[in-house]
Amino acid sequence: MAQAQDRMPPLSPERLTDAQKQAIDAFKTARSADISGPFVPLLRSPEVMTRARAMGDYLRFRSTLPPRLSEFVILITSRRWTQNYEWNAHEPLARRAGLKPEIIAAIAEGRRPAGMANDEEILYNLLDELQQNQSVSDATYARAVETFGEPGVIDTIGITGYYTLLAMVMNTARTPLPDGAKPALAPFPR
């Protein structure tokens, strides 16, 4: 099946406003990289791009969750939104961070992973309830706070919210996968 047309491809340098140029420079300074993925469409609103990048800098690199759990949350969010660009970027990071391949495979297939560690199960339940019910039960909340503290619960919600934002941007813009990458996620089972 052919990929749909990218609605918000990279802007040509001559079309960039001063605010967009400043946003690109700030991004390069903060991340030591060129803009790509969700930041290409986000550049249409340089203020949103800059603020989203700053939030992502904390959530990706300095949150209270260790990388294994942070990447776990990102994969769950990517699966929920069938966001292949996000999945493509974070699945290898999740493996390197120590997330078990069978857990990654279950998430990709849209099913509850078996054999999760206790901390993974607590986060999975928190996110599953939040996504399914738009709320979290007292029991699930209490387990999450007991395990991660209130800052960890907020960071978890921040990570899923941030990656939901990026997924919605890329799904709307139809951001293509990098050259040579194949979609790993089929449409989310409804």
pLDDT digits 0-9 by tens, 69-124: 999 999 999 999 999 999 999 999 999 999 999 999 999 999 999 999 999 999 99
Check residue 63 and give its pLDDT. Answer: 96
Q: Could you tell me if residue 2 is left (phi over 0), alpha (psi between -120 and 50 degrees) or otherwise beta?
A: beta
Domain ranges for the chain, please list them: 15-61, 67-173
Separation between Cα atoms, residue 39 and residue 36, nearest integer Å: 5
Give the pLDDT confidence of 121-172 residue by residue, as tens digits. Answer: 999 999 999 999 999 999 999 999 999 999 999 999 999 999 999 999 999 9
pLDDT at 1: 45
Q: Name which CATH class applies to 67-173.
A: mainly alpha
Q: Are 89 and 179 in contact (CB under 8 A)?
A: no
pLDDT, mean of residues 3-23: 93
Question: How does DSSP classify residue 14?
Answer: G
